[in-house]
Amino acid sequence: MNFEAIRYIVRKFYSKANRKGFAKFAWWASIISIVLGVVALIVSISILDGFQSAIQENAVRFTSHIKVFTFDRKPFEQADSIVNNLIKVVPEISSAYPSVSSEVIIRYKNFVEGISLQSLNPMKIKNLREIVIGSQKNNGISSEGIILGKMLAKRIGAKIGDTVVILKIDFNEASNEFHPNFFKFPVAGFFESGMAKYDDVFAFADEELIKRINKYSTSSANSIEIYLKDLNKIDSVVKKIETVLGYPFYCFTYYDLHSSIFAWIELQKEPIPIVLSLITIVAVFNVATFLLINIVEKTRDIGILSTLGLKPREIVMVFLTIGYKIALLGSIIGGSISLLFSLLQKYFKIIHLDSKIYYFDSLPISIELMTYVIVLFFTFLVTFFAAFIPSLIASRLKPVDVLRFAK
């Protein structure tokens, strides 16, 4: 096969001077359609991956990988010894901490709201440090302070240093009466995750403070927070933990907490890439249209080249190469536009969302090399099949018939 001759013919057929009339329009239509197909496919997959990653990242910040409760949600004693035993028996656990939480009412001036007050552990402090605003950002939180979600703080009008009132209502089963207990704590800082589910409902405080509110002993806890070395093993670890602890303990994973949105993402991941792949397939078939127009326009040239000794497989290579040049140019432009959009969205948040509906205040997006590789490989694969048919037609043209037709 004469590759030098093939390269020369490709340069001549593909040159700007040879693209005239409808062939020029078809060339631009092929490029633009491939660009749009590649952008649509890459951006859609990146957004779905971004939602999944952002949900997982924020879930771990606030809830740990696995949370262990009792079925009646009552506190249990010797929490530290239970945790230590779990770490010894289950090697997949990276770290685990006893945890206390309480559903309380917060009051500031004339505003009253129900919130979930969560205790801090070393892992939570580490995860929250990046999104905490306030003087306690680098040192955690004092034993008498409380960290509020920024959305909650804005709604009730509280600022750092202000004092809020926490109301905890206890129920006395013996007397069948409710007993309110009031506590005053300063606001030590705010956190902002971008998820209304957390920013509007959650507050964090030192573990001892919440134990004092709940009237728990030093060794008591009402849950255990567990972090794993490998999230892919979460299902098997859950079974192992429940076997080790037995009744009345059960496990609740971060996936269970956000099951609805994870299910929605998984549902979208199946049809959306398939539907958008059809756009790319249609776009690539525009390449075939351009090649057919090129073949019609270059019929006389093909006949002359065949007469001079150009073999059918070399003619196939000529038009396949032209098709791949178009696909390569469209893919590079489409990939570049997708990457530029992804970077702008990731760092400048150009598209905003209603966090009460979409969980986030801006559109999350993930930039993964594998996404680009898969989409570009798919584009080139479809291009091969789309360009092969016109190339085969060109290679089967007989020189005598071609020269007669050219007259």
User: In terms of Cα–Cα distance, which of 156, 150, 145 is closest to 113?
Assistant: 156
pLDDT in tens, 261-281: 778 777 777 777 777 777 778
What is the rounded distance in angstroms from the CA atom of residue 62 to the CA atom of residue 48? 22
Instruction: Please tell me the pTM assigned to this model.
Output: 0.71
Burial class (CB in 10 A: 0-12, 13-18, 19+), 271: exposed
**Terminal Cα-to-Cα distance of the chain (whole angstroms):** 30
- Cα separation, 274 vs 122, in Å, equals 43
Handedness of CA 367, 368, 369, 372 (dihedral sign): negative
pLDDT value for 203: 93
Residue 318 sits at φ, ψ, to 5 deg, of -60, -50
What Rg value do the Cα atoms of the chain yield, rounded? 32
Token reading at 388: 């092969």
**Nearest residue to 96 via CA among 265, 283, 251, 273:** 251
Nearest to 291 by CA among 318, 259, 311: 318
Of the candidates 3, 13, 7, 29, which has an alpha carbon nearest to the alpha carbon of residue 298?
13
The count of other CB atoms within 10 Å of the CB of residue 263 is 11
Cis-peptide, bond into residue 98, ω within 30° of zero:
no
Q: Distance between CA 92 and CA 234 in Å, rounded?
A: 9
Length of the chain: 407
pLDDT number for residue 126:
81
200 Cα distance to chain centroid = 22
Give the three-class secondary structure for 320: helix
Whole-angstrom CA distances from 168 to 76, 116, 184, 345 are 19, 11, 11, 42
The whole-number pLDDT of residue 28 equals 87
Interatomic CA distance for residues 1 and 4, integer angstroms: 9
Q: Are 10 and 322 in contact (CB under 8 A)?
A: yes
In this prediction, residue 371 carries a pLDDT of: 92
What residues of the chain score a pLDDT lower than 70? 1-3, 16-22, 130, 134-143, 174, 356, 399-407
Q: Which two tokens stand for residue 53?
A: 């990653």
| DSSP H or E run through 312 | helix 312-348
